[in-house]
A and B are shown apart, each in its own frame.
Chain A
């Protein structure tokens, strides 16, 4: 996926002026947050579970290599194959090879963010293999030619009316006078369209929420059951997963499952939680003939042992997006690459380079709400600051801000000079603005006064008055 993260400011302007988007984002602001709140209230041990989730993921990251090798051994024991992809290009080649050797013409897909990371859809299509997204949200945006704008709700930026418009345009074989006014009628139409695709597909590609080391099992959660159809009906099932998705045992997956749906949608569990352990055995009634797992690194292992390691705890629930005031206002596409919101603002620089994503860590008031809802307690604000530090050291931003900071520091470390400067500043501003109490316009403060008045100081500094009184 071509990144526009470096154009974040332009993306923001467009997003704030997009009426459809602003209407669609209303759901994020209320629904997700309220439902998570209710789910938490119903589970008194939720905070303790978050601690346990954090500790589990930290343990896994400290022994990632061992668990991955254990997982590989068990997948093989079950009759499956494991492929290691260091880069997106390697992952694409591995998947294309598997599809080609099966003579695949169509591939159904369950939702996978790593699939977006490696750009698998475009690659398959460019090589004559048609990828079909089967998650309703993913299906909608595939028809619209858009990337997902949210980790778990990929089409959250689209209004119902826009979906209807898209369906009428793309499903041109259907009766143009059909009634699509209800969400359920849209759902039904997608279901009818997808049913034949599920049956015809040669290969099914899914992501994985967890990879279970001691059994070689992969796990996905969905609310639509599309993942099950994607992985059981075609002859070949390919699981595409980041290496950080590993957990030691099914009990550990259980712990994270308790956190995942509650944090994401406020559900106790997603409607479907599916475990895949190898290809179909002789006694199984269904399942694929071949089972492949493609483990993608794409820069993750480089984060181990660094100050950014903790972001690998992420279980992709989307809670940080839902609670982020920036995301709530600009939506996911403004972030310019695969991962949006706070987790995107720290992940994108890690995976594509801070030099290509420098505005993202800046776009936060560091309000900390993301960290306060993260099921595995990733210290996102701390990492935003760490990226800002790296950007500052590498001089990725303009010189004006740089000089302003240095000037402020020079003043702030010279209290006597600082007292003089602030006394003059407060005096001048107080004298000019005191009568009305505020400024509607003032040189060098346009970014502030464009949207709000600038209150005037009372006139004398505290320090001057304090000294006077003593």
Chain B
């Protein structure tokens, strides 16, 4: 009898649309980290945050129910995003609390859902990173990873094992990068000041590459770096950990 646990990958809409490499890197990492088989349910689309964060509860509920149904059969659910992971883990139980058919199921799902680096370190207790990446790297913690999921140590522990990588801590790393989902287009001028600060702090590290575990932050940061003419590359941390950082960096031409 197989001891393998089934892991459902919640790809996230941005990885699906923007950067498939991250999804494949996540699968590779999870399967290397222990006796896990990864599957990607077809019925997934979005986690429901656009509606949830904009007051459209009805839409958020419809999407959340779909996600619960698609993923509740797995032993674990993993998302290469603190934002979407946090949505399922911390917000679904509250969002669905008033729905008798889904409240308990949402709580159960939340209990087995993890952000990718959190899963690799805290569930799989994986120590076997074999990738090499001979560059100096800084790391942006997304707000949701840092404050909703208390994930900070995990990506650093994993990156410490990457061959040739030199890690430079980002100064004043706690503030938001200014993405915030629809916030960045509702209040573009404030968002711009925030990402200006973030990019200045990234530049101050002298790192070649900025990594993060959330595509939203990465699109924002990469977009600002490129607009400012910076040579700093932006990548999802999974690409580096899985040794799949050969594609052009985010916002770079092929």
Please list the residues of chain A having a beta carbon within 8 angstroms of any beta carbon in chain B: 9, 12-13, 16, 325-326, 329-330, 362-369, 371-372, 382, 385, 387-393, 401-402, 405-406, 408-409, 411-413, 415, 418-419, 422, 425-426, 434-438, 440, 447-448, 450-458, 460-463, 465-466
Q: Does B3 contact A (CB under 8 A)?
A: no
Contact A462 B16 (CB under 8 A): yes
**B183 partner residues in chain A, CB cutoff 8 A:** 363-366
Contact indicator A408/B191 (Cβ below 8 Å): no
> B143's closest neighbor in chain A, by CB?
A367
Inter-chain contacts of B193 with A (CB < 8 A): 16, 329
B154 at the interface (CB under 8 A from A): no
Instruction: Please classify the interface of chain B as helix (H, G, I), strand (E, B), loop, or mixed, using the class held by over half of its residues.
Output: helix
What is the chain A residue whose CB lies nearest that of B224?
A452
Q: Does B56 lie within 8 Å of A392, measured CB to CB?
A: yes
Knowing A366-B180, A406-B56 are in contact, say whether A457-B251 is a contact too (CB < 8 A).
no
Ordered by A's residue number, 12 sampled pairs between the chains whose C-beta atoms are within 8 Å are A325-B178, A365-B194, A372-B147, A382-B94, A402-B56, A409-B60, A412-B48, A412-B63, A425-B17, A434-B253, A447-B184, A466-B40
Quick check: is B220 within 8 A (CB to CB) of the other chain?
yes
CB distance from B178 to the nearest CB of A (A): 7
Given contacts A371-B147, A457-B17, 10 further A-B contacts (CB under 8 A): A365-B194, A367-B175, A389-B57, A402-B56, A405-B59, A415-B45, A437-B248, A452-B227, A455-B226, A466-B20
> Interface code B213-254, partner A: CB below 8 Å = 1, 0 otherwise?
000000110111011000000000000000000011011111
B residues near A (Cβ < 8 Å) are 11, 13, 15-24, 40, 42-46, 48, 50-60, 62-63, 66, 94, 143-144, 147-148, 174-176, 178-195, 219-220, 222-224, 226-227, 247-248, 250-254
B94 surroundings in chain A (CB, below 8 A): 382
Check A365/B62 contact, CB under 8 A, given A406-B56, A458-B247: no
Contacts of A393 in B (CB 8 A): 55
List of A residues within 8 angstroms of B50 by Cβ? 405, 408-409
Q: Determine the residue in chain A with the shortest Cβ distance to B183.
A: A365
Establish whether residues A465 and B20, one from each chain, have CB atoms under 8 Å apart when the complex forms: yes
- The smallest beta-carbon distance between A368 and chain B, in angstroms, is 4
State whether A453 touches B251 (Cβ < 8 A). yes
Q: Return chain B residues, CB-CB under 8 Å to A372.
A: 147
Q: How far is the CB of B195 from chain A (nearest CB, A)?
A: 7
- C-alpha spacing A382/B57, complex, angstroms: 13
Taking a contact as CB atoms under 8 Å apart, the answer to whether B176 and A369 are in contact is: yes
Q: Are B54 and A388 in contact (CB under 8 A)?
A: yes
**Pick from B21, B42, B178: contact of A365, CB under 8 Å:** B178
> A369 touches which one: B55, B174, B187 (CB < 8 A)?
B174
What's the nearest-Cβ distance from chain A to residue B39, in Å? Answer: 10
Query: In the complex, what residues of B have CB within 8 A of residue A463's CB?
Result: 11, 16, 40, 42
